[in-house]
Structure 1
């Protein structure tokens, strides 16, 4: 693995701030890891941000640590499966943009609650779209699914948006099912040929494994490492040779924001489709490489492999092809893996050095640095 310092230096070819300034943005899952960062970024660009989510699952969490509630124009604490509550919240927000991130997001947890995983990830997504059927204004909608939605044959090359969907575990299968369900709703109720009548533009987004400050979810490699290292313990690694498309959380968020903004200004039906947002192939690495880099940034090398024959199935290799986003959206990653790990470790170390302080300004500083590349 070869990682160079710095970033790719490819700018998003549009002014995101002007696209979102004074616009109403509705985010489901705003209390989660991605949703909290997206809320802060949109607020910083001058948007009116409305959140809909359950309370955070974990303590600590970025929503609380970064005082995300303070930047919201409105907030509804409710389940995405509560269609009545969701529809009322969307109507009240009167959104120009909708980002649907609410989900059961963990592969291993999906083995413990498979039915709930399908309900949240599939029915929850359809509840969002169903709530927009009588919407009377223009609206760009990005439904976030997952890179796990592909029928993963553990092939050497990256999956393209046109590749078959599937899923061994309930989480992956639920995300594939959500993609199929959203495609059906888009064709049935929001067809591009009648766009002038309904005004709702829908795309799906499939991102790689995200890292960054503020994630404390269980059974994720960086949060697991942070919990161990902050307590002076060794990091336990299950699958050191597995390969994943890791990227800083701001990378896919910039993709979602770019896609939604371009949809808002265009009637091109090619935009209303699935999109991959992942790292460049030169940044792929194994879990063991990731841990070497992260522990090095933390100030120690302290991880150990602990395998078990009773663990549920997890794919060994997953790669994404991002050519479509690069060439059709002019989007590309800005931070390489080295920079992503450096920023992630720095965020957590600052939190643990003074955890009574709000991390909001630290998030804003990372967003500023990302946008300046």
Structure 2
């Protein structure tokens, strides 16, 4: 198993659901840089501005607009393009929003996952499926040592519960229709990937720490922090994406060895507080201040959330390249570049993202991950 990402994905048709979102657009750029034939299936970008449009990705890939809840259209797309591998990222990704629209959150995150799995079962076109869920799929027990892949699933809020349900749906389809030890009666290798608190350039979503921080700093406004003592495992978007791409490559090589659930988390033994992250972002930006303003709501959010990623380290030869300080710095670098370019309607942020991807791959290879080429 000495293949590299570029050797695996070059020329390969790859379907990304949710490609207009923050993580999906970064994954589309990375796959494009690897030479893949990228097909995206998603609703319109969820924010204005957004990373997908700033990078002009509709000119660089097959851009299909559709709702993950539209089973017939989804099945038609799979039949038409016959992707070799599917990365499923389409989701309602905001915890606080799930309190306001719980049914939609469950319909999208659970029903959408079932739709893509059922379409793959019926069409028999793909060879591998990587379902992206969340670190919030675990039962909230405030474990400071980190959740492992075999810890109980659960969820207090609708978003977290939806991700636990999505994990159960993935496991059910895998065990019922695509058993790894038999390569599945239809040949589909199935895995799920769990990561959380991903940061990076181009994220403009509401109710997220770094996007809220950067939007305030760009306006010379005070950064509002609602939970400064909350502990999270902060990681740059390229950290889990490298894991997703590696996992997809390994699934194509050996379904039995690499099917199942995988955690991808940051390098720190001790996760950082939101206060520390905001203060570092302000230092990287060069100016600014923050203010504690408690959230005027009874909506519960997990206070301590950390993943154990030893399985990925031992079996995939994967480790996170960026420490949290560099993850924040790279995020701030992107927004500084965006601030400089945003008045130019012809500007294309694709090349900024592609340069950060090349830097990440170079550092990964320097840490012994030769597959990251």
User: Match for residue 362 of structure 2?
Assistant: 372
Out of 272, 289, 305, the residue aligned to residue 318 of structure 1 is 305
Q: Distance in 1 between matches of 2:112 and 2:124?
A: 22
Q: Distance in 1 between matches of 2:135 and 2:269?
A: 18
Q: Distance in 2 between matches of 1:136 and 1:106?
A: 32
Preserved CA contact (<8 Å) 1:283 1:337: no
SS at match of 1:188: helix
* CA offsets 1:340-371 (integer angstroms, 9 cap, x no match): 11111010011011212111100000000000
Q: Distance in 2 between matches of 1:173 and 1:136?
A: 29
**Per-residue deviation at 1:197?**
3.7
User: Match for residue 260 of structure 2?
Assistant: 273
Out of 45, 65, 73, the residue aligned to residue 54 of structure 2 is 65
**Per-residue deviation at 1:190?**
1.4
Preserved CA contact (<8 Å) 1:135 1:198: no
Out of 263, 270, 295, the residue aligned to residue 251 of structure 2 is 263
Q: Distance in 1 between matches of 2:295 and 2:328?
A: 27
**Per-residue deviation at 1:134?**
3.0
Out of 265, 270, 283, the residue aligned to residue 296 of structure 1 is 283
Preserved CA contact (<8 Å) 1:138 1:198: no
User: Match for residue 348 of structure 1?
Assistant: 335
TM-score, with normalisation over the residues of structure 1? 0.94
User: Match for residue 363 of structure 1?
Assistant: 353
1:285 aligns with 2:310: no
Q: Distance in 2 between matches of 1:331 and 1:263?
A: 15
Q: Distance in 2 between matches of 1:308 and 1:242?
A: 13
SS at match of 1:131: helix
* CA offsets 1:189-209 (integer angstroms, 9 cap, x no match): 112243264110000000021
1:187 aligns with 2:175: yes
User: Match for residue 6 of structure 1?
Assistant: none
Q: Distance in 2 between matches of 1:294 and 1:305?
A: 16
Give me the CA root mean square deviation: 1.4
Out of 155, 168, 191, the residue aligned to residue 143 of structure 2 is 155
Aligned residues: 360
1:26 aligns with 2:8: no
Out of 94, 105, 121, the residue aligned to residue 93 of structure 2 is 105
Out of 321, 328, 342, the residue aligned to residue 315 of structure 2 is 328
SS at match of 2:78: helix
Preserved CA contact (<8 Å) 1:20 1:42: yes
Preserved CA contact (<8 Å) 2:177 2:185: no
User: Match for residue 4 of structure 1?
Assistant: none
**Per-residue deviation at 1:225?**
0.7
SS at match of 1:335: coil
**Per-residue deviation at 1:301?**
3.9
Preserved CA contact (<8 Å) 2:79 2:125: no
Gaps of 5+ in 2: 364-373
TM-score, with normalisation over the residues of structure 2? 0.94
- Comparing 129-138 with 27-36, greater Cα deviation is found at 129-138
User: Match for residue 130 of structure 1?
Assistant: 118
Following superposition of structure 1 onto structure 2, how do residues 158-307 of structure 1 map, counting pairs within 5 Å? 158-195=146-183, 197-267=185-255, 269-282=256-269, 284-307=271-294
**Per-residue deviation at 1:187?**
1.1
**Per-residue deviation at 1:181?**
1.2
SS at match of 1:134: helix
Q: 1:244 to 1:70 in 2, by over 3 A?
A: same
